[in-house]
């Protein structure tokens, strides 16, 4: 659980040490320039992974969408993005400390950055052409933690509503 360790939220197991070193190296340049932005980006990646794995299936389209979102919202190169996506996807399977990650992201982000995250969460969820109940539940949990609502959020949701799957 490298992201949680990197954020100072948990200790790494011995077998995770190599992974932590790899991801730490990938983000270290950004961390030196702007530690708050590096932490925000780690949270961003973690939360993308949570939504991508909400239905317990990581589709190739979701992985590709995560890469696109990180490319758009970070200064990492393609190799760093691939590594972050790989790790975020594996982290997303471990739903521990989610609320703390959401809080760190919320505390370090403007409303525009929070809305951008929400747009990215919907884009990842819709990457396989449908947004199911597990993904909606995860997105709602993140939204609650971010304290978002109102007209701006409704606009983000409307952009992705064609992908919503109504289960009955």
Query: Smallest Cα–Cα separation from 29: which of 47, 41, 19, 17?
Result: 41
1 with 10: CB under 8 angstroms? yes
pLDDT over threshold 50, residue 16: no
CA dist., res. 27 & res. 42, Å (int):
9
pLDDT over threshold 50, residue 53: yes
CA dist., res. 78 & res. 64, Å (int):
12
Query: Smallest Cα–Cα separation from 69: which of 49, 87, 96, 93?
Result: 49
CA dist., res. 132 & res. 15, Å (int):
34
- Quote the pTM value: 0.76
Q: 111-164, pLDDT tens digit by residue?
A: 888 988 888 898 888 888 888 888 888 888 898 899 887 676 677 778 777 776
Query: Smallest Cα–Cα separation from 7: which of 87, 70, 123?
Result: 87
Predicted confidence at residue 96, as pLDDT, reads 62
Residues 6+ apart with CB under 8 A from 159: 119, 122
Predicted confidence at residue 6, as pLDDT, reads 56
pLDDT over threshold 70, residue 33: yes
Q: 105-126, pLDDT tens digit by residue?
A: 999 899 888 988 888 898 888 8
Q: 63-109, pLDDT tens digit by residue?
A: 998 888 888 877 777 877 887 787 777 765 665 678 888 998 999 89
Burial of residue 123 (CB within 10 Å: 0-12, 13-18, 19+) is: buried
């Amino acid at each position: 659980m490298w992201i949680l360790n990197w954020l100072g939220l948990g200790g790494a197991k011995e077998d995770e040490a190599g992974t932590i070193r790899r991801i730490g190296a990938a983000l270290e340049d950004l961390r030196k320039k702007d530690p708050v932005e590096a932490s925000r980006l780690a949270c961003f990646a973690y939360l993308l992974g949570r939504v991508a794995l909400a239905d317990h299936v990581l589709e190739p389209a979701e992985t590709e969408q995560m890469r696109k979102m990180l490319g758009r919202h970070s200064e990492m190169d393609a190799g760093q993005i691939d590594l972050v996506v790989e790790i975020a996807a594996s982290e997303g399977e471990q739903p521990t400390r989610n609320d703390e990650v959401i809080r760190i992201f919320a505390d370090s982000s403007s409303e525009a950055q929070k809305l951008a995250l929400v747009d990215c969460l919907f884009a990842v969820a819709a990457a396989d052409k449908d947004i199911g109940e597990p993904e909606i539940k995860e997105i709602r949990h993140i939204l609650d933690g971010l304290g978002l609502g109102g007209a701006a959020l409704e606009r983000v949701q409307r952009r992705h509503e064609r992908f919503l799957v109504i289960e009955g």
